[in-house]
A and B are shown apart, each in its own frame.
Chain A
């Protein structure tokens, strides 16, 4: 019993930075549940990827002017993220058949510009921090920011859930009853960008989308109903956070990548396990009907 405690709980009990990191990741998991599920169901994982990279040039500019100032990094990241979210929609309308191409262009450009800006002033270590995050360096202010973003996001999503879901399913319907679906899409994209900014310090631009999409993909293996998916998504996200942090603690590995790796493993298990379960259920049902 005490051995299990020492192994599983003790690292968090004795180190404040481990606790803060765990709470921060779990707060993020709460919003990544609904956001990731909706992103996948709307087939917008590529857009999410683009937005997570779009945060980088702004955050890099913030870094250029103010160094490691949390406010400057977040503000800059939000501005370029929102800018790309807006212009991606505009470009998509200009050239509707080549949407992926323009999205890929956005994401490559953002990455290139971001890396150039960071390298102009910072070291390789700074670059690694921007790209992969430093979840163990999240301080009280960072935690407060993450908690605020995730609370506001949850409230806003709860309010616009119905029109957003209808817009995801049948975008023509809202407009045919005189409601502009674009408003809700805009609010949703803003929430995505805000959460990517909040995840940025913990996971960096390259990995921020990971905790958003991987648990959602895993959850969608098990259930097709939306609320169970979101709930399972949150549970899987939190499990991966905990397992990833522990792994990084014992194996002395970077924690952001360890967390994303843990969600990846859960996704793999879900892919195989859910398929097996489905086959067993359908076999059992065949047996019943005989």
Chain B
């Protein structure tokens, strides 16, 4: 059985994290017995000093000519697992894209592990991807090793072994040559997760990782996400399913263009706060126009 944490290519985040078990191997289902009880986590945030989480100071992000989010200040703690929730149009995806460096900031600063530039692995929404472009599953997953070859260099041979492992870790064994166009939504999401497994950055940013994905795939991929959390990565996910958030995500950020609540999920995702978020958005159907 392959094991992502022990394979030589993996960048160890800390000595104790390097001993962590089966992070991706169990991703494809019940090959390894694994419990998701918090008490079983074997390492604390102290073991991974390299990740300092993500710090936001008065962050505003524009979408087109309007502000999608304004004045967000706070910190995603190292090794935390946070769900960003909020009504449609609350600016969740825009904030995530800003952290990933895809959208520019209108104001404020974001600081993260590597200083000002985030070393992040970002999962886009499937609508942002041109699915008909002729790319194979293997090529898609191999992009996860982008930093080892970049735009112009030849990929090192070792990359190809890792690609197979990552694809298998996401439950796509033997599908490397398939064009992504022929995949189902769930399989395509697995392929994108394979790319994330190969990227393995200190910070994972997931934009609606389980949207329109079948139940079985959701279970498998959720398990991968929880393993990242256990291995000390900072994970931030935009989610809609509030039951899922309450069940698996210890921290939550409730957005309605500004921050409604940020902290312990139980105290943030309450009926009262959700109603407040909806009212905030209803008050102004569009964000403030930029000066």
Interface of A with B (CB < 8 Å)?
A: 41-43, 93-96, 159-160, 162-163, 165-166, 168-173, 175-179, 224-226, 229
- B130 & A162 in contact (Cβ 8 Å cutoff): no
Other-chain contact of B181, A96, A163, A224 (Cβ < 8 Å): A224
Query: Please, what's the 1-or-0 string for B140-177, where 1 marks a CB less than 8 Å from any CB in chain A?
Result: 10010011001110000000000000000000000000
Interface of B with A (CB < 8 Å)?
A: 64-65, 97, 100-102, 117, 120-122, 124, 128-130, 132-135, 140, 143, 146-147, 150-152, 179, 181, 205
Other-chain contact of B179, A43, A168, A224, A229 (Cβ < 8 Å): A224
Once A162-B151, A179-B151, A224-B179 are accepted as A-B contacts, the answer to whether A170 and B102 lie under 8 Å apart by CB is no
| Nearest CB in chain B to that of A183: its residue | B151
- B134 & A226 in contact (Cβ 8 Å cutoff): yes
Main secondary structure of the interface of A (DSSP, over half): helix
Nearest CB in chain B: distance from A186 CB, A: 14
- B146 & A177 in contact (Cβ 8 Å cutoff): yes
Once A176-B120, A224-B181 are accepted as A-B contacts, the answer to whether A169 and B151 lie under 8 Å apart by CB is no
- B152 & A41 in contact (Cβ 8 Å cutoff): no
- A169 & B100 in contact (Cβ 8 Å cutoff): no
- B130 & A168 in contact (Cβ 8 Å cutoff): yes
The 4 A-B residue pairs with the shortest CB-CB distance in the complex, in nearest-first order: A176-B122, A169-B133, A163-B151, A175-B102
- B147 & A41 in contact (Cβ 8 Å cutoff): no
| Nearest CB in chain B to that of A43: its residue | B130
By a CB distance below 8 angstroms, the chain B residues around A42 are: 130, 133
Other-chain contact of A176, B65, B101, B132, B134 (Cβ < 8 Å): B101
By a CB distance below 8 angstroms, the chain B residues around A93 are: 64
By a CB distance below 8 angstroms, the chain A residues around B150 are: 179
- B101 & A175 in contact (Cβ 8 Å cutoff): yes
* 23 pairs from A and B in contact (CB 8 Å cutoff): A41-B130, A41-B133, A42-B133, A94-B64, A94-B65, A160-B151, A162-B152, A165-B133, A168-B133, A169-B130, A170-B128, A170-B143, A172-B97, A172-B122, A176-B101, A176-B102, A176-B121, A176-B122, A177-B146, A224-B179, A225-B134, A226-B134, A229-B134
Nearest CB in chain B: distance from A6 CB, A: 43
Once A177-B147, A226-B134 are accepted as A-B contacts, the answer to whether A170 and B65 lie under 8 Å apart by CB is no
Once A176-B100, A178-B117 are accepted as A-B contacts, the answer to whether A169 and B65 lie under 8 Å apart by CB is no
Nearest CB in chain B: distance from A11 CB, A: 38
- B130 & A173 in contact (Cβ 8 Å cutoff): no
| Nearest CB in chain A to that of B103: its residue | A175
| Nearest CB in chain A to that of B65: its residue | A94
Nearest CB in chain A: distance from B106 CB, A: 14
Give the CA-CA distance A226 to B64 in the complex, in Å: 33
Give the CA-CA distance A226 to B179 in the complex, in Å: 11
Nearest CB in chain B: distance from A225 CB, A: 5
Give the CA-CA distance A162 to B145 in the complex, in Å: 14
By a CB distance below 8 angstroms, the chain B residues around A175 are: 100-102
From B101, B133, B181, residue with most partner A Cβ within 10 Å: B133
Other-chain contact of B64, A96, A168, A224 (Cβ < 8 Å): A96
- A166 & B143 in contact (Cβ 8 Å cutoff): yes
Nearest CB in chain B: distance from A188 CB, A: 14
By a CB distance below 8 angstroms, the chain B residues around A94 are: 64-65
